[in-house]
């Protein structure tokens, strides 16, 4: 597993911005981060109603348009839901699946997460499968068990060749939106378990090529240390992605950390 993976930073805007501020933020992010797009995958996940306008802004700048969720059925009587074809129509490239807020606030279970993931892969979309333990689970010593279980359930029936489309985001629930970031060592320890599980489930090459993002209170001040960990291939950023200078600093930290890893490769 001596390879260096291309870093991947996502800005999950969640249920924030309005039409005007979404366009403005996308413009600012393109201006600030466009120059890094050759060295880092950068995705923006605006709210559904703004996908089209944000997509126009990202257009030819090499940034990826992302969606925060998708439904697994192709069409029909599913009021309020959004299909993979609708996302493809808008030039969406990547979709978040099983975000912590979908699981814990909206109530999605592992079966629905897996169905959505399979549908998105089938449609040719990139997917970011989000997993993570709650504080209660961490304190009970269940961190590894919970993450491996969400990982296995999410990847159920995913073919080896589809794993190229998959990124994992490890987002400990207690670190999301709390300002309480996981230590780089704690995050890396979970990333190592995730990678080992993928090696067991598929093979070493698949695990070695898999990108695992960390998410949960990533900001301009802590990104460098997090991304310095060989196991951490970038971040999924909430709050700090709404501030373009801060988001730029995070992307820059990912690019610089990857250059260092390339100079001094480790495991
Ligand atoms: P924060 O960066 O606001 O903690 O959110 C993390 C997250 O959930 C990204 O998907």
Mean pLDDT taken over the chain = 96
Q: How far apart are CA 169 and CA 24, in angstroms?
A: 27
| CA proximity to 98, closest of 49, 40, 147 | 147
Domain that holds residue 252: 8-86+108-263
Ligand 1 atom at minimum distance from 100 CA: 8
HSE of 115 in the Cβ direction (CA atoms, 13 Å)?
Answer: 10
- Is 14 among the domain residues? yes
Query: What pLDDT, in 10s, does the model give residues 201-221?
Result: 999 999 999 999 999 999 999
d(CA 246, CA 50): 22
Task: Look at the alpha carbons of 40, 162, 45, 193 in this order and tell me if their dihedral is positive or negative.
Answer: negative
**CB 171 near ligand 1, within 6 Å:** yes
The Cα 222–Cα 183 span in angstroms is 9
Rg over CA atoms, the chain? 17
Q: 58-102 pLDDT, tens per residue?
A: 978 899 999 999 999 999 999 999 999 999 999 999 999 999 999
Whether the per-residue pLDDT at 163 is higher than 60: the answer is: yes
Structure tokens at 228: 């310095």
- State the pLDDT at residue 264: 82
Ligand 1 centroid to 217 CA: how many Å?
6
Beta bridge partners, 235, equal 9, 214
Label residue 1 by pLDDT band (50, 70, 90): very low
* Main-chain phi, psi angles of 126, to 5 degrees: -75, 145
Residue 93 lies in a domain: no
Q: How far is the CA of 97 from the centre of ligand 1 (A)?
A: 14
Task: Work out which ligand 1 atom sits closest to the CA atom of 239.
Answer: 3
Tens digit of pLDDT for each residue in 168-212? 999 999 999 999 999 999 999 999 999 999 999 999 999 999 999
Rounded CA-CA distance 259/264 in Å is: 9
184 is a domain residue: yes
| pLDDT tens readout for residues 139-160 | 999 999 999 999 999 999 999 9
72 catalytic residue (yes or no)? no
Establish whether residue 234 lines the binding site of ligand 1, counting it when its CB lies within 6 angstroms of any ligand atom: no
Here the CATH number for the domain that contains residue 68 is: 3.20.20.70
* Closest C-alpha to 222, from 244, 204, 240: 240
Residue 94 included in any domain = no
Atom 5, ligand 1: which residue's CA is nearest?
238
Q: Name the domain count of the chain.
A: 1
Confidence band of 2 (pLDDT split at 50, 70, 90): low
Record the pTM. Answer: 0.97
Where on the phi/psi map is residue 134: left (φ > 0), alpha (ψ -120 to 50), or beta?
Answer: beta
Cα(76) to centroid of ligand 1, in Å? 32
Give me the numbers of helices (H) and strands (E) for the chain, helices first please: 11, 8
Q: Is residue 131 part of a domain?
A: yes
169 bridge partner residues: 130, 213
Collapsed DSSP state (helix, strand, coil) of residue 89: helix
136 is catalytic: no
Ligand 1: which atom is nearest the Cα of residue 178?
4
Is 3 a domain residue?
no
Q: Is residue 71 part of a domain?
A: yes
Residue 240 maps to a domain: yes
Distance from residue 181's CA to the centre of ligand 1 (Å): 10
Residue 19: pLDDT over 90: yes
Q: What is the pLDDT of residue 266?
A: 65
Atom of ligand 1 nearest to the CA of 241: 2
Output the pLDDT for position 251. 98
Residue with tokens 């996308």: 26
Query: What are the φ and ψ backbone dihedral angles of 169, each rounded to 5 degrees?
Result: -115, 120
Is residue 218 within 6 Å of ligand 1 at its C-beta? yes
Write down the catalytic residue from 99, 101, 191, 229: 99
């Amino acid at each position: 597993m001596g390879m260096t993976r291309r870093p991947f930073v996502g800005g999950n805007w969640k249920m924030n911005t309005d039409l005007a501020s979404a366009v403005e933020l996308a413009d600012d992010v393109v201006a600030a981060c466009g120059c890094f797009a050759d060295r880092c995958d950068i995705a923006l996940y605006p709210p559904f109603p703004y996908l089209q306008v944000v997509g126009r802004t990202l257009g030819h700048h090499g940034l990826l348009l992302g969606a925060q969720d998708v439904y697994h059925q192709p069409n029909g009587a599913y009021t309020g839901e959004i299909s993979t074809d609708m996302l493809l129509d808008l030039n969406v490239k990547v979709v978040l699946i099983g975000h912590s807020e979908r699981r814990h606030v909206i109530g999605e279970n592992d079966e629905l997460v897996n169905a959505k993931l399979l549908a998105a892969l089938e449609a040719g979309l990139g997917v970011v499968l989000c997993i993570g333990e709650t504080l209660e689970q961490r304190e009970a010593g269940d961190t590894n068990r919970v993450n491996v279980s969400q990982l296995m359930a999410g990847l159920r029936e995913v073919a080896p060749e589809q794993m190229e489309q998959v990124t994992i985001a490890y987002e400990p629930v207690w670190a999301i939106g709390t300002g309480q970031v996981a230590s780089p060592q704690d995050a890396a320890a979970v990333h190592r378990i995730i990678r080992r599980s993928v090696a067991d489930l598929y093979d070493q090459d698949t695990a070695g090529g898999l990108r695992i993002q960390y998410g949960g209170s990533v900001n301009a001040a802590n990104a460098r240390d997090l991304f310095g960990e060989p196991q951490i291939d970038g971040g999924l950023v909430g709050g700090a992605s709404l501030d373009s200078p801060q988001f730029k600093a995070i992307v820059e930290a990912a690019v610089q950390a990857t250059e260092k890893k390339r100079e001094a490769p480790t495991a």
